[in-house]
Amino acid sequence: MSGRSERSIPWKVGAASACAPVCGDGIEAGPEECDDGNTTSGDGCSSTCHVEDDG
């Protein structure tokens, strides 16, 4: 039997959004204290992804 060619596995590493600490993407990473998926202040997690004291 033949015809079996080597196939390179397409490792897609182009999208770095899952690793990069982007405030508002819902992923708490890097310097972010929180990330609730938005960049709205006043809801407990500020626009810069710092925990807000709702007091």
Residues near Ca ion, by CB under 5 A? 36, 38, 40, 43, 45
Closest CB to Ca ion among residues 2, 50: 50
Q: How far is the CB of 15 from Ca ion (least distance, A)?
A: 23
C-alpha to C-alpha distance for 39 and 24, rounded to whole angstroms: 5
Q: How far is the CB of 43 from Ca ion (least distance, A)?
A: 4
**53 phi and psi angles, rounded to 5 deg:** -90, 110
Looking at beta carbons, which residue is closest to Ca ion?
45
Instruction: Output the six-digit token pair for 6.
Output: 């080597």
What length is written for the chain?
A: 55
